[in-house]
Structure 1
Amino acid sequence: MGTTFLFIGTPEIFMIILIVVMLFGAKRIPEIARGLGQGMRQVKDATNDIKREINESAKQEGIDTDIAKDINKEINEMKDNIDDVTGPIKRSM
Structure 2
Amino acid sequence: MHVMVPAFIGVPGGMELMIILAIVILLFGANKLPELARSSGQAIGEFRKGQEEIETEIRGAETSEQVSDEQEAA
TM-score, normalised to structure 1's length?
0.59
Q: Unpaired segments of 5 or more residues in structure 2? A: 1-9, 68-74
Greater RCO (Cα-Cα under 8 Å, separation 6 or more): 2
Aligned residues with identical type, % of pairs: 33
Runs of 4+ in 1 over 3 A off after TM superposition: none
TM-score, normalised to structure 2's length?
0.73
Q: Which of 1 and 2 has greater Rg?
A: 2
CA RMSD of aligned residues (A): 1.4
Greater strand share, 1 or 2?
A: 1
Partner of 2:17: 13
Would you say how many aligned residue pairs link Structure 1 and Structure 2?
58
Greater helix share, 1 or 2?
A: 1
CA shift at 1:8, angstroms?
Answer: 1.1
Partner of 1:51: 55
Amino acid at match of 2:14: T
Q: Unpaired segments of 5 or more residues in structure 1? A: 1-5, 64-93
